[in-house]
Amino acid sequence: MTSVEFDEVSAEDVSRHFGRRRAVSRMTFRASRGTILGLLGPNGAGKSTLLAMLATLLRPSSGTIRYGTLGTSSGPALRERIGVLGHDLFLYPELTARENLAFFAGLYGIADTNARARAALERAGLDNRSEDPVSSFSRGMRQRVALERALIHDPRLALLDEPFTGLDDASTGALVSRLKMLRDTGAIVILATHDLDLAEGLLDHALFLRDGRIVEAMTAPDALRSTYRSVIGR
């Protein structure tokens, strides 16, 4: 399968409604290679819906999403370059950490799935638990495995929904440096988070969302908390 490459992700006037509820309302933005874009906002602001649309899981009700010059109809080739860490972790509890990673690695077309799985587990600091079923892991450990699963195929676009949930300090630090490394290798990272302090040192750009709309966009953001409060007001 010829793989596709793209240098940026753009959303143009994108909306999505469910019946009468408008989850995302006319969002326009752009994210380029080698940047980390943060989606900040309260629950129900539309972060998860937007991420789902960027992941090609949901179709926008109106507007277009483009990956470079490609639209979402590029199908399988496009999906190969996207990695998603969802709210639910996308892991099979009965399988071991290694099996979970190897399974998805195989589905993403990687040849030596076991080696890749082991390397990923090492990065996550879980190689001593690789043969244990995921159901025996704590939330934080599962989150780490889930992150590795999302990134196992070196995606060009990484979409992360609340990746810091349940992580302790050490893991959080590891995740931050992992994301920075990802950015430095030229990936586009878009993450939704509640954790403003963490986001402060991490984000290159930030979008503040409220009620499905972008209310503020910042580049090289700082003083996130005060901006958040003034813009979101809660």
Partner 1 sequence: MLRAILLIVRKDLTVEVRSRELAYTTLFFAVSCVLVFAFSLVQEGRAAEGVGAGVLWMAIMFAGNLALGRTFERERQSETLRALMLVPAPRPAVYLGKLTGIVLLLAITEAVLVPLVALLFESALLSHPFWLASVVATGTVGFAAVGTLFAAMLVRARSRDVLLPVLLYPITVPVLIAGVRATVAIAQPEFEVDVVRFWLMLLIAFDIVFITLALWTFEPVMTD
Partner 2 sequence: MPKWFQPTTLLCAALFAISPFVIANAPYESTMGLVQKVFYYHMPSAWVFLTASVICGSASARFLATGNPRHDRTALAAAEMAVLFGLLTLVTGPLWARKAWGTWWIWDARITSSLVGWMIAWAYLILRQYGGPGSEKLAAGLALFGTANVPFIYVSVNYWRTIHPATTVVPKLPFSMGFPLLFCLAAFYLLMFLLMKLRTRVAEQQARLDAIYLSLDEQA
- Footprint of partner 1 (CB under 8 A): 1, 55-59, 75-77, 79-80, 82, 84, 86-95, 99, 103-104, 106-109, 133, 149
Contact pick of 11, 14, 25, 187 for partner 2 (by CB under 8 A): 25
Minimum CB distance to partner 1, residue 206 (Å)? 26
Q: Segment contacting partner 2 (CB under 8 A): 16-24, 70-78, 97-105, 188-196?
A: 16-24
Contact pick of 8, 10, 12, 26 for partner 2 (by CB under 8 A): 26
Q: Segment contacting partner 2 (CB under 8 A): 13-21, 143-151, 166-174, 191-199?
A: 13-21
**Separation of alpha carbons 66 and 24, rounded Å:** 17
Coil/strand/helix, residue 55: coil
Q: Using the rule CB under 8 A, is 20 a contact of partner 2?
A: yes
* Amino acid, res. 214: I
Do residues 187 and 156 make contact, with C-beta atoms less than 8 angstroms apart? Answer: yes
Two structure tokens written together for 43: 């629950």
Partner whose footprint covers residue 26, from partner 1, partner 2, none (CB < 5 to 8 Å by kind): partner 2
Indicate the residue among 200 and 211 with the shorter CB distance to partner 2: 211
Partner whose footprint covers residue 84, from partner 1, partner 2, none (CB < 5 to 8 Å by kind): partner 1
Contact pick of 19, 88, 128, 219 for partner 2 (by CB under 8 A): 19
- Cβ within 8 Å of residue 22, ≥6 positions away: 15, 16, 212
Do residues 181 and 133 make contact, with C-beta atoms less than 8 angstroms apart? Answer: no
Do residues 83 and 159 make contact, with C-beta atoms less than 8 angstroms apart? Answer: yes
Residue 138, CA distances (Å) to 18, 71, 104, 145, 175 in order:
34, 39, 21, 11, 17
Q: Using the rule CB under 8 A, is 143 a contact of partner 2?
A: no
* Amino acid, res. 54: L
Chain residues binding partner 2 by CB under 8 A are: 17-20, 22, 25-26
